[in-house]
């Protein structure tokens, strides 16, 4: 899995992103995370400039907002013309925020009502709920009039204030990076509300609900008196998968989504992106509902990681090459699943219906172990950890055809590659281990100069009779010494 960090203005594969807002960076991350590169999913991790962290957990998100422009204490209510006077009668004198409001029909538009006397710390949603609760007539829209924008604090100040309020509700109050993240968005000039996104660990739905209840309608330290927090009552979570994965999970995914329709307050949207990936967004009115709905979706869309004691890192490297790719493709065809290999983490995931995933896992593990069992073992006789002359000693001991080694270890197939100084071995794991033990034993009897320990120096020994020459004869041209009687 390839990782790319995005921070502010971003360079990815030589291409520069001209956007510097958090939303633009987030959109770039979402699009890049849908891409598949040579059978592996591209993993792009945004790097925050506000000391925030991308969390490696099933996420449940909620949006917050608070006013950035003060209320004028006046609102415009739009309704059907025939209902205007009824609404005025029902709502006039209604107490909101500790004060009584007054309603008048607009002199310009007979389908509009002016509401005055509204306390300046009352939110749009609070006013709307109060008016709609006071009358049975239909209200189309409630618009609270606001003044000029106040001077906004830095996003980091807002974020720290929110984190300080939420952290006490988390399991680990001091190190809350594993529990939630806060992101405050830059407002546009015309925006009258500041917006933020809180991403909670999906397993902490109860803690998240308590934290949100705590900050709902609260003015946080550093905020102005009329800047009350408003929590969105809808939680949502997003999952995505490549087109290859979607093709094998479609039937089971459709079944899950049909069941979602039976849950009150739950909605979802499944889209195919420009890159051919599929993105599912699920919304609900409670964090626990989202957490419960996400579990089966994750099992399906995130796949199952394969693990086995025999799948060593060296063996997993096989999947990078042609033989390994062929193994995965064969298992995919036989089980009608999708298999993705993460080269960076040496991890394999299988996607598909649960029964077929289990079958694919068994087949792939067996295929890899069998491949490793039958793979030709290569023992190098030359290298930094080998004494010089090892190949020569092996030949002297077992013969140029290594017949002595074959007799010593029956059933082994061994070939000497003299050019590369290697032994190529075929056989069971146990037989290969015996050959490695024999070569290690031979290595122990050679010193750092390649001589047998206790053997005469080549300068003193006759190369013909291998004994110390009593009457040595030395050749003038090369200096080699021979026994005169040899």
User: How much is the average pLDDT of 159-170?
Assistant: 92
For the cut 70, the answer to whether the pLDDT of residue 86 exceeds it is yes
For residue 49, pLDDT over 60 is answered with no
Parallel/antiparallel/unpaired status of strands 71-79 and 112-116: antiparallel
Higher pLDDT, 474 or 18: 474
The helix or strand, by DSSP H or E, that contains position 305, with its residue range, turns out to be: strand 304-305
% of residues, the chain, pLDDT over 70? 77
| More confident site: 172 or 46 | 172
pLDDT of residue 412: 80
For the ranges 50-64, 179-193, 416-430, the one whose mean pLDDT is highest: 179-193
User: Where residue 32 falls among pLDDT bands split at 50, 70, 90?
Assistant: low
Do the bridges between strand 40-46 and strand 2-6 make them parallel or antiparallel, or are there none, so unpaired?
Answer: parallel
pLDDT at 199 over 70: yes
The reported pLDDT for the residue numbered 7 is 37
Q: Structure pTM?
A: 0.52
Share of the chain above pLDDT 90, in %: 33
Give residue 450's pLDDT band: very low, low, confident or very high (50, 70, 90). low
Query: What's the pLDDT at 144?
Result: 92
Strand partners, 279: 240, 271
Q: Is the pLDDT of residue 19 over 50?
A: no
Q: Is the pLDDT score of 48 beyond 50?
A: no
pLDDT tens string 204-221: 888 888 899 899 889 998
**Which of 359, 370, 358, 378 lies closest to 324 in space, CA to CA?**
370
Contact between residue 53 and residue 5 where contact means Cβ atoms under 8 Å apart:
no
180-194, pLDDT tens digit by residue? 999 999 988 888 889
Higher-scoring residue by pLDDT: 148, 74:
74
49-58, 79-88, 383-392, 439-448 — which is least confidently predicted? 49-58
pLDDT of residue 2: 39
Residue 42 vs residue 116, higher pLDDT: 116
Burial letters 218-227, b for 16+ CB under 10 A, else e: eebeebeebb
Rounded Cα distance between 139 and 88, Å, is 11
If pLDDT is split at 50, 70 and 90, which confidence band does 29 have?
low
Q: Tell me: pLDDT of 60 over 70.
A: yes
Rounded Cα distance, 24 and 450, in Å:
65
Confidence of residue 145 (pLDDT cuts 50, 70, 90): very high
Question: Is the pLDDT at 14 greater than 90, yes or no?
Answer: no
- Average pLDDT for the chain: 80
Confidence of residue 380 (pLDDT cuts 50, 70, 90): confident
pLDDT at residue 432 tops 50:
yes
């Amino acid at each position: 899995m390839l990782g790319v960090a995005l921070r502010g203005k971003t360079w990815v594969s030589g291409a520069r992103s001209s956007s510097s807002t958090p939303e633009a960076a987030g959109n770039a991350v979402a699009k890049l995370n849908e891409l598949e590169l040579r059978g592996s999913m591209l993993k792009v991790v945004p790097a925050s400039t506000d000391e925030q962290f991308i969390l490696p957990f099933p996420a449940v998100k909620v949006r917050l907002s608070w006013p950035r422009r003060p209320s004028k204490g006046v609102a415009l209510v739009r309704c059907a013309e025939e209902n205007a006077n009824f609404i005025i009668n029902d709502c006039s004198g209604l107490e909101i925020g500790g004060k009584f409001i007054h309603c008048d029909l607009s002199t310009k538009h007979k389908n509009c009502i002016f509401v005055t006397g509204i306390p300046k710390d009352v939110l749009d949603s609070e006013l709307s709920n109060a008016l709609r609760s006071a009358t049975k007539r239909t209200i189309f829209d409630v618009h609270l009039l606001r003044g000029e924008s106040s001077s906004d604090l830095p996003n980091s100040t807002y974020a720290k204030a929110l984190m300080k309020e939420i952290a006490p509700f988390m399991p680990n109050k001091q190190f809350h990076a594993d529990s939630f993240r806060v992101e405050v968005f830059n407002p546009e000039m015309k925006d009258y509300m500041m917006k933020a996104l809180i991403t909670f660990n999906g397993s902490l739905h109860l803690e998240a609900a308590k934290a949100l209840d705590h900050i709902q309608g609260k003015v946080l330290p550093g905020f102005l008196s009329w800047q009350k927090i408003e929590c969105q009552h809808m939680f949502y979570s997003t999952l995505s998968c490549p087109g290859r994965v979607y093709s094998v999970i479609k039937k089971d995914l459709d079944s899950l989504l049909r069941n979602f329709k039976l849950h009150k307050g739950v909605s979802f949207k499944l889209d195919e992106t420009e890159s051919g990936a599929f993105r599912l967004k699920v919304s609900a009115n409670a964090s626990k509902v989202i957490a419960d709905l996400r579990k089966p979706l994750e099992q399906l869309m995130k796949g199952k990681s394969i693990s086995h004691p025999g799948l060593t890192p060296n063996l997993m490297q096989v999947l990078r090459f042609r033989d390994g790719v062929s193994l995965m493709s064969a298992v995919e065809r036989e089980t009608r699943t999708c298999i993705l290999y993460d080269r960076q983490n040496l991890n394999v995931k299988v996607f598909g219906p649960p029964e077929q995933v289990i079958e694919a896992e068994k087949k792939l593990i067996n295929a890899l172990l069998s491949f490793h069992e039958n793979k030709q073992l290569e023992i190098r006789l030359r290298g930094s950890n080998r004494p010089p002359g090892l190949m020569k000693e092996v030949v002297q001991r077992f013969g140029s055809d290594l017949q002595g080694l074959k007799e010593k270890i029956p059933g082994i197939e061994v070939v000497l590659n003299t050019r590369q100084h290697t032994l190529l071995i075929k056989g069971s794991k146990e037989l290969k281990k015996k050959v490695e033990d024999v070569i290690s034993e031979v290595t122990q009897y050679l010193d750092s100069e390649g001589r047998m320990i206790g053997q005469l120096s080549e300068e003193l020994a006759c190369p013909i009779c291998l004994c110390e020459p009593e009457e040595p004869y030395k050749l003038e041209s090369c200096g080699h010494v021979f026994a005169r009687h040899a």
